Every structure is written in C-alpha cells, then in structure tokens.
Structure 1
Amino acid sequence: MKTMYENYEIWWVTGAQLLYGGDAVVAVDSHSKEMVDGLNNSGNLPIKVVYKGTANSSREVEDIMKAANNDSRCVGIITWMHTFSPAKMWIHGLKVLSKPLLHLHTQYNAEIPWDTMDMDFMNLNQSAHGDREFGHICARMRVRRKVVTGYWKDADTQKRIAVWQRVCAAWADSQDMLILRFGDQMNNVAVTDGDKVEAEVRMGYHVDYMPFSEVMPYFDAVKDEDVDALVAEYFRLYTHDEKLEDKSTVEYKKVWNSAKAELTLRAVLKAKGAKGFTTNFDDLGDADVENTGRGFDQIPGLASQRLMAEGYGFGAEGDWKSAALYRTLWVMGQGMPGGCSFLEDYTLNFDGKQSSILQAHMLEVCPLIAEEKPRLEVHFLGIGYRKSLTARLVFTSKPEKGVTATVVDMGNRFRLIVNDVECIKSKPLPKLPVASALWIPMPSFEVGATAWILAGGTHHSCFSYDITPEYWEDYAEIAGIEMVHIDKDTTIEGFKQTLRMGEVYYMLNKSLYL
C-alpha cells in the first residue's frame, strides 16, 4: 500500500572526529552504512533513512543541518555518536536546525568482545561516551529531541524510531496545512476557538474563513452525471435499504444532495490546497434552498464522513483545532489498520464499573473506525435552522482499546490532552440513527472524565486505535507544547499536581513559548 511517506526521508548523521585517524573514520563510515541499510531492510520503518555521512567538524555539522532545513523531502534528523564527537562542534548546527531531531543511543556491536578488545576498539566504539557528550550539549542548549536507547537491530528499538518517523511526517504535513472554515464558531462556544496566529506560529497550520458565497461557484459547476456516479458508488459500497434507490422518493433525492455536497467540498478543498475544513449549521447557502436548489439542504454529514476517511481534517461547529489535529492523526496512522475519527462526547451511561461515554455527533463520525460495513440511511435531522431529512453512514465502532486527544488554548500556551480509552459494545440505538462509539476513559469513568475536565478538555476529540501516547508525546516535544496524559495509573491528586506544575513551568519559562 502506497502512502505519502514515500515522499519523505529521514537523514542519518554519525558523529565522529579526526583525532583517531583516517582509518577510524573509514570504519565509522562503513559501520554507519551497514546500520542504515539494516534499518531500511528491517521492515519496521515506514520512512526511508538516508545516510549523510560522518560529521567531523563544526562546519560539516552546520552544513548538514542547513541542507536538511532546505530539503523538503527531509522530515527529520537521526544523530548517533559512534565514537567520541566533541559536542562543542555541534553547537552551530543545532542552533540552525529546524527539523525534528532523534538522538539514537546505540552501538554498532551488540556485546563487548571480551577476549579481543584492545585500545583501538575502545577508541572507535565510544557510543557510551560520545552519546553522553552529545546529550549534554542538547540539554545545555534546550534542544527539543527524542532519545531512543537500545540496540539498533532490536525490533523494539526500531519500532520506537518508527513512531517518531510517523510523527515527523505529520509534523512536516502540518507546516503547509490549510484549514478552511465554512462558518465560524457556533453559539459562543469557547473551547473550540483559540488563537489562530499562535497556532500557526507553534504548529504550522493556517486557518482561513471561506464564506459560502465563494463555495457556490464550485457547487454550480458540479455535473449531474458526476453526482449520479457518486450515488451509484454509495450503493455499491454501503449496505442500504433497496427502497433508497428509488429515484422518485425524497430519500433518494437526499442521498443525491449529499453526493453533490461531497463533490462540492472536495472540489473546493483541492482547488484551495486545503487539508481540512470545518462546518456549522449557519452557513449552508441560500436560505430557501429547498426551492432554489442553491446550497446544502442540511449539514454535509455524509460528505464529512467520507472526506475524513480520505484524510481530510474535520471539525464540527467551526472547531479548527480538531480539524487540524485529526489531519495530523490521520497522517501519523498512514497504512495502519485500526482507523481514526473525529468524535464528540454526547451523553453519559452510569453503569457501575462499566460507566461510559457515548461518542457520536449529529452525523460526522469517520467510517474508518466502524466494526462492520457502514449502512447508508436517510433520517430527519432536527438540529439547526435547516431541519430536514439527510443522509448519513450509520455504524458502531470496534470494541478495542484506543487513545483520544485534543488541543486546547490555555492563553499562554497550547495544551495537548491525551486519554487512554477502551471502546466497548453498545446496545442498539433504534431511535438515534447515527455513527457512534462507546468508551470507558482510563483509569475509570469517574477519574478519567474528572481529569479531562480539570485539564480543560474539549467535548470534541480525535480518536485512534493505532496511535499510542508515545506518538503524541513526540508530537508535543517537536511542537513545544504542553502534554498531559490520563492513563490507567492516573489519580486525581497526582493529576492536579501535574497541572499545577505545568502552570508554574510555563509561567517561569515564558521564553519557551515565545
């Protein structure tokens, strides 16, 4: 399966010096090439590692870092100190580096050759020495990086590198991410809003408002035959009542309208080069759309579901932060089987130890998380000023463990809130025909939900079966934002202390967020 990762590279730079002579540098180079080839052939890394040679001087380090900054294919740098590399020669290069950094603390050989080890071997194989020297200068310079410690041939070590690689790809993707907002925040909602300027400074993506008047030319340009073809595709892909195919019914017309909305949105997103979008009920075109046919007759829920599955970020009710975060989540999970979705805390189910939260939305839940083939249905939607029948995909999520996350604006910083959850089987909802998930937040409903609220978490979040907290930790490190994690070991007392320490940290270290 091809992914966008094929367009990216991770550069590998080995630290050395000329003190030990040319033969040592030749050996360092040979070992490094073997290690890079081994990683690429392991099958565990999603992005190709490209060996960029040894760095033996300050000028060489700086040149490599500048080249990495200017190469759009390079999404991150792996450094490893095979032998002792004096860290002062890394200062200028680290000062200019703008790409994510991973420091690999490993060694070419797995074990010490007890019977044959001599001083030449010691001088060459000094990762235990050189990596600490490099680690010191990174700490001294406050360089944000990931440190992976372990033997380079071990699968666990390779998989930790792979996590970081996926996050690097998502980070690179966000640096030219455009989110289009078809409407603003709704009903004075605070948690879905935030500082768009600081978001672009900190996380790279740009948010633009697009009035529906600018959408209408794309809507008018959609050809009926293309809509017909997409409707036929719906009927092939999803289970449905055969009566839905009756072109004389209003239900068929609603499916047709949903297909036209999807084609319109996709055309807009492609034309603008956008990677995500938001919608709301208040900006859908002509108010008399039932008679004029110019605009969306209801919120484009089916379109949003399908566009999310293609990788477009989505946030409901103008929630641009969730739209961007979902896109990042989708990029990190490229090629992984579990799936991801935008979700909303809908209602609570108090049931002792099985107390849980129903995750749904009016319509917009991504079919990537469906347990079975989604069902295409048309039902009345009585929310918003356009109350009418509308099409949607109906399903329940897979009962598995996953992780959900959200970003909130705390005024002086962004906070990434991550919660381990367990999706469980839900009972049928015959009167609520929407896509949904039912989960228990870790460590329990009471503690997990309380901690989320204490952290200022949104009612919207971005969920994945594949992406673990390690991915979000790497993302927060690269972005330079706060992350709090709610897991099986969380206690309210300890979590409150974590939040208090975060407040102190960012108040005392304002320069970290400037």
Structure 2
Amino acid sequence: MIKAFENLEVWFVTGAQLLYGGDAVTQVDGHSKKMVDGLNESGNLPIKVVYKGTANSSKEVVDIFSAANNDKKCVGVITWMHTFSPAKMWIHGLQILHKPLLHLHTQFNAEIPWNDIDMDFMNLNQSAHGDREFGHIVSRMRVRRKLVVGHWQEESTQKHIAVWERVCAGWADSQDMLILRFGDQMNNVAVTDGDKVAAEQVLGYHVDYCPFNEVMEYFNKIEDKDVDALVETYFKEYDHDAELEDKSSEAYRKVWNAAKAELSIRAILEAKGAKGFTTNFDDLGDADIEATGMGFDQIPGLASQRLMAEGYGFGGEGDWKTAALYRTIWVMTQGLPNGCSFLEDYTLNFNGEQSSILQSHMLEVCPLIAASKPRLELHYLGIGYRKSQTARLVFTSKEGKGVTATVVDMGNRFRLIVNDVECIKPKPLPKLPVASALWIPQPNFEIGAGCWIYAGGTHHSAFSYDLTDEYWQDFAEIAGIECLLINKDTKIDEFRKELRFNEVYYMLNKALL
C-alpha cells in the first residue's frame, strides 16, 4: 500500500436482503470478506478497502452511509449487490451520502458452474439482477457515481478501482484546501480568475488574499543558520557552477536570498495550514532590498519549484484554480513514478506534423518532471518591478505521454478541460535559461490547440505523466462539473457540437433548479 494513503480507507458495502434466510446472508458475508481480502492482497489498490458488512434494510444502509460521512478516514464507498437487493431500501442512504460512490458490477464466482448450478445457487448469486436494480435507483436519483464492470479478481477491474481510489484521495484533500494568494491577481487577466465562493461550494477550495508584507513577518524570523543549511542542501542536490559556492560573491548572496525566501514561504504555509499558493511579480513586499539587504530581491521561483515538488499547489500571477488543481494532481499521483508540474503555454513551434508548444514559465516549473538532475543557475529576470538576477532550477522534461488539465469558470459552471499530450525532445535553449517541456497536443497541434481554445482553456495548466483521461472523468463526476476531453479520437467539428450541446444542457439545468 502507498504510504501517502496509509491513513485513508474505502468502505465496501454489500447489498442483500433477508428473503432467502439467514444462512444465505452468512454466505454473502463470507464471500464479501474474501473479495475484500483479495482486493487488498492484489497489490493493485493504493487505498485499503474495509468491509463494512451486508446491508439488508433501509436502516442498515442509512447507518453505514451516515458513518461513512462522518469518518475522516473514509474517502469513498464501494457498493456491490451480491443478491437481489430491492433498491428502494437504498433511497434514504443515497440521499444522505456525501462521499464518492463506486458501483462494482461483479460476481463472487467467475464462471457459471454448469454441471452443478441449481435454484439455491441462482437465489444466492444474483448480481446480474441486483446490480441492475441498484443501478436503476442510482440513475433515477441522479446520484453521481463510477461504475466498474468486471470480475473482481481481474487486474483490469482492480486498476479501474485504483484510479477511482486515487481520485477520491485527491477529492478528500481538496475539501479543506486553503490556497494563499501572495499579492493580488495579475491586472486585467480573466481566465485565471473566477468565482471563489462558487469554487468553495463546488470544489472545496478556500482562497485567501495574503499581502506580501505578511510574508515578510516570517522572513524576518528566519535564522541565518537555517538558510546556510538549506543552501548546502541546494549544492548537494543540484548540479551547479563552483562560483555559486563562493560565500564572498554576489552570486552566493543571490542563492542565499532564494533559500531564505523558500524558508519564509514554507513557514507561512505551515502556520496557516495552506496547501497551495500563488505569487505575482508585481507584489514582493515593501522592503527595499537594495538599501537594506533584507527582503525578496525577485519573485521566489526556486522556492516555488521546490515547494511544488513537496506537494504544495502553485499558480503564477494569482492563478488560484491551477494551484489547487496541481495540488490535487500531486495527491492523486503519490507513489507513481513520473511526476507533475504547473506549466504555461510559452511559445509555438510550427513544424508540420511535429508542430508543438513550448511549456515553461518565468521560473516556476516543478523538478519532478525533469529528465535528468536539475541544474541550479543564476540569471537575470527582467519582468516585474524588481529586475535582477535570481536563482532557478534549469532542466528539460522527460519524453513521453502525459495529460494536462485546467479548470475554467464559465459563469454558470466550472469546466474541466483535459488534453492528452506527447512530450518530445526539445532543442537546446542557450539563451533561455528556464525549465521547460515541449509537447504536441493530441491528436495533433491543429486540433488539440484549436479545441482547447474553443473550450476557453487557460494558458496555465496542471500536467502529469501518470494520469489518464479516466482520472479526470472520475474527478469531474465526483465534483459534478463539466468535463471536456481532447485526445487521439477528437474531431474538431464534433467537439464544437459537444460545446453547444453542453451549453444547452447547463442552461436548462440551471433554469430547472
């Protein structure tokens, strides 16, 4: 089991009834325990499944679901109908359930015992019957859920459950997510802003403005010895020029300042219990760094890179939605090997079938996606009101398939836009010393970029090598938000029709509420 999820549980509830007598229920219970043990022992599920018994009445369903709502370790509920479980007994429980739901359509035995099957076997093993009854009431009640169809011992079935479990962990984490905005939004930018009240209602994000001068209160409490120790960590972990270690040089002072910035931001995030943050290069506090030698001499890019690697969400220029989404990706991908990052569409490369988009940012790209050991470098940054040299990690991303996602506020709903991408090897950037990725949006540049723009997607996104469309479909289903997928099967005319149909659906839905 993944250590990151060791304090989480998914509850397993089996549906049955007392029509067939107590002996039948005892057999159902025994089968259910074996199934749960088998799922946990498979090695394919990142979160432990806990069997919570067989529900045989409306009261039992309500009691189990009430307990699930109130148990902080429980991040989701799996239901399975071993026998015919009359669906009206699930109504009250489904009405109160606030945790994500997965309906597993399976059967204890894999194959029909053709030579031995009798009426007793038929009465006991009625998942084909019971799961349809349960599925009807869930659909009639418009309860959002994931449906997994397949035998519980099959790896493919277990992997679908595993995807949902990871999404449940990310969803649970987002329900008390505090994002601190250090400084305000970049002036006049629309796509990275949005309705923060609606975001808290729908997605769980709480966003607080935090003036950068408040960060300075923590900055002033950081001890030099702790800064010195962090600088030594930089030199051990990253390739760098020897001159950076000359303590009498201006270069060393710049690296030292970057380390103090990192310690300051980490301190305020920990003090406030925040899971993510944003920065803005137009607001770095009032301290006069040139006159006093105290304060942030430039936007804290190195700090943002390293804090992302630790799991803090980050968004540039006040982009709180991408900061929150990155945090969710980081949670969902714990224990997976390839990494994730905040990224920005930087510039385009038109090259026929290899036409691509250079992904980067001024400084803030997470080293978890680096193809090789990042290099600590010092370069001039001429943006914002403090123009100076500053430290950053420079690298290029791994090659391979990935998926990038963004959430936009459409006024009457949140829209999740997801694009599969192919990261390819870039050419050297000798005069652009930043961390970067180069990718071809799927199914190709024209359709991928075009659909993203038609959908109103941001120039920022949260990227992962390890996630797939399935994760984002599950996330959108749990959140109850619109989800648009752009992948190898996307056709631009059909995508535009989907946008129009969705607009009608959400307008009607709003009118009916």
TM-score range, shorter chain: over 0.9
- 1:396-435 equivalences under 5 Å are 396-435=396-435
Measured against aligned partners, the alpha-carbon deviations of 1:139-188 in whole angstroms (never above 9, x if no partner) come to 00000000000000000000000000000000000011100000111121
**1:210 partnered with 2:205:** no
State the AA in 2 paired with 1:469: D
CA drift of 1:2 comes to: 5.5
* In 2: Cα distance, 1:470 partner to 1:204 partner: 21
Measured against aligned partners, the alpha-carbon deviations of 1:178-236 in whole angstroms (never above 9, x if no partner) come to 00000111121000000000000000110000112221221011000000000000000
> What residue ranges of structure 1 are gaps of 5+ in the alignment?
none
Match of 1:228 in 2: 228
Match of 1:3 in 2: 3
Give TM-score scaled by structure 1 length. Answer: 0.99
> What residue ranges of structure 2 are gaps of 5+ in the alignment?
none
* In 2: Cα distance, 1:425 partner to 1:347 partner: 16
Cα 1:429/1:456, change in 2 over 3 Å: same
**1:128 partnered with 2:108:** no
* In 2: Cα distance, 1:3 partner to 1:507 partner: 43
* In 1: Cα distance, 2:437 partner to 2:290 partner: 33
Measured against aligned partners, the alpha-carbon deviations of 1:409-453 in whole angstroms (never above 9, x if no partner) come to 000000000000000000000000000000000011011000000
- 1:341-352 equivalences under 5 Å are 341-352=341-352
State the AA in 2 paired with 1:62: V
* In 2: Cα distance, 1:135 partner to 1:280 partner: 48
Cα 1:511/1:272, change in 2 over 3 Å: farther
State the AA in 1 paired with 2:127: S
Match of 2:87 in 1: 87
CA drift of 1:251 comes to: 1.1
CA drift of 1:3 comes to: 3.2
Deviation beyond 6 Å, 4+ runs, structure 1: none
For the residue of structure 1 that corresponds to 2:199, the secondary structure is helix
Match of 2:442 in 1: 442
* In 2: Cα distance, 1:105 partner to 1:253 partner: 62
State the AA in 1 paired with 2:490: T
Match of 1:153 in 2: 153
* In 2: Cα distance, 1:3 partner to 1:397 partner: 26
Match of 2:108 in 1: 108
Contact 1:216 1:294 in 2 (8 A): no
* In 2: Cα distance, 1:3 partner to 1:449 partner: 38
Match of 1:298 in 2: 298
Measured against aligned partners, the alpha-carbon deviations of 1:264-288 in whole angstroms (never above 9, x if no partner) come to 0000000000000000012212252
Match of 1:255 in 2: 255
CA drift of 1:4 comes to: 2.8
Match of 1:490 in 2: 490
Contact 1:219 1:260 in 2 (8 A): yes
Contact 2:360 2:434 in 1 (8 A): yes
State the AA in 2 paired with 1:130: G
Aligned length: 513
* In 2: Cα distance, 1:39 partner to 1:287 partner: 57
Contact 1:286 1:294 in 2 (8 A): no
Contact 2:2 2:334 in 1 (8 A): no
CA RMSD of aligned residues (A): 0.9
Match of 1:457 in 2: 457
**1:20 partnered with 2:20:** yes
* In 2: Cα distance, 1:509 partner to 1:176 partner: 28
Match of 1:358 in 2: 358
Cα 1:505/1:152, change in 2 over 3 Å: same
Contact 2:2 2:46 in 1 (8 A): no
For the residue of structure 1 that corresponds to 2:397, the secondary structure is coil
